[in-house]
Structure formats: structure tokens, C-alpha cells
Amino acid sequence: MESVTIRVPATTGNLAAGFDTLGCALSLYNTLAFKKSKTLSFSGCDAAYQNADNLAVQAFSAVYRHAGKKMPPVHIDFDTGIPVSRGLGSSAALLAAGAMAANAMSCAELPLDVLLALTTGIEGHPDNLAPAFYGGLTASLMEGNRVFSVSYSVHPNLHFVTLSPDFHLSTHAAREVLPQRVPHGDAVYNCAHLAVLIKALELGDEELIAAALRDRLHQPYRETLIAEYADVSALARQNGCNAVCISGAGPTVLCVTADTAFADRMRRAVQSLRHTWQVRDLTVDQAGARLL
């Protein structure tokens, strides 16, 4: 195959108590077109990422190595709707796109679980990658070199409203702020909240979702890195949504609601803040990464 185009959804990972475990695919997309060429080249991509360290290239190369084939040089055209370093799975989207493209162009026909394992080896954790590949809401775990992932239902009435600010937050910085050890009681608290959250999302019970989105492993520490997080959370509650959490490692704030008018109210509300917050009204993407 000489060329392929891959569309991959954004994802919200670390869903509250589901730190490094739970993720959901959202209706916001990156579309990458791969075409064999004489040299590795790029378009639609920042110059700083136009090299072999690009995550799409790393995944592309990893699949060819696994298949025992020589990777051909390609031109990659990026059409990126997912903002970078905002906690919406931009890295996972590039990895999934590169792996899917290589799988098709090499005719390796590797199953998705193998592509997930290969890219998790690059990313380090599967909570964003699993929903990027499979779509929907997924929970994942790692045992040795194997990645196990299962899917759950989300109530069709739920909207995932994201509020992304005009500043970045690196995943490295967001991990650095986390403690190396946590009290046993905090671990138990998170286990209980994660178990309830999965069912709450299936039921679409907003009160239950709001309670289950509380967490003690990462959000209390990361909130301090996100300017105006408290203000955005307060505005969300004032405008009718109590189900609020950090998306991924941040700085995007995620609100889960069935209220179709909530996003419009928040667009007006955040205009009073110092930073610019882009509000997106998203739903669950059920398809995951796919060839166009």
C-alpha cells in the first residue's frame, strides 16, 4: 500500500479515580495522511517535530520492526484538531495513527492488541492509547509486557464538555508533582470511586458521576499547577454541572453533563477570567482509530 489516511479521536485519560487506568475517546480528531516518499518529510506540523523523534514516526517504525520489515521513508501530512499538551491525548493520537498506518502499509495485519502493546511501550501507560484505538470508554492494565483492555458503556445522553486554556502543562511536570507514596486509605478511596464511576457513566446518573469523580491520587496535586482551576470549577457548578475533573494530566478541565445548553453557558461564563478558555461540547467517539 503506497498511502493511507488515519483518523484518531482525542481522549480524556486518568479519569479522576482512574489514574493511568481509565480513558474515554471523544469526538475531536487528528487526521494524518502517510505516503511513501524518497525521504522522511512532513507538512502541517511544527518544525520542532519534523524529525524521527516525532511520535507518529516512532510508532510507524516500531510496527515495521515488529513485523520484521524495513521501514520506508514517508511523507506525513498532519491535520490536527487535538490541542497539544492540554490533557486530551494528543500524544496517544499520534502514536495510534503511526501504528495504524504502518500496519496497513506494511500489510503486517497485526491485531489492535499488539498495536496497543507496541505503542504503550513508547507512551508508558495505556489509559489514553486504549480508547484511541478502540473508541469508547476503556479500562486497561499492564502485566509484564502485555496490555489488557476492557470496554464499558457510556450513557448516550452524556456530553463531555472540555475547557482548554491558553497555556500548556507538560505531562512530565504533572507527574513530578505527584507523591511517590500514598496512604492506604487514599488507595482504598480511589478503588471505591473508580468502581462506582464506571457504573455511574453507564447509568448517566450525574449526581453519582459527580461523587465518583473525586480522587486522592493525582487531582489534588495537579490542581495547583492549573491557573484558574478553582475558578473554572466554581463556574461549572454555578452553571449547573457538579461533575468536574481534570482531563488527562491537565490543564483541560472536563465537565460531564446531559445538559445540552451547559457548554454555551460556560462559553459566556469563562469570558470573565484572565486566561482564554476554549469550550468544546464533545460526545463519546465509539469508532476509535480508523482508516479513511
Identify the pLDDT of residue 145. 82
Identify the pLDDT of residue 23. 98
Helices 55-66 and 90-105: crossing angle in degrees, nearest 10, is 40
Q: Which three cell numbers stand for residue 30?
A: 487528528
- Which residue type does 287 have? A
Contact 3, 263 (CB under 8 A): no
202 vs 192: CA distance, rounded Å? 16
Identify the pLDDT of residue 171. 85
Domain boundaries, the chain: 3-152+286-291, 159-282
Q: For residue 23, give the nearest of 149, 108, 118, 110 by alpha carbon.
A: 149
Apex 27 CA angle, 26 and 32, nearest 5 = 100
Identify the pLDDT of residue 1. 87
Contact 225, 189 (CB under 8 A): no
The CATH number given to 159-282 is 3.30.70.890
The CATH number given to 3-152+286-291 is 3.30.230.10
Identify the pLDDT of residue 253. 98
Q: Considering the entire predicted model, what is its pTM?
A: 0.96
Residues of the chain with pLDDT under 70: none
Q: Quick check: helix, strand or coil at residue 238?
A: helix
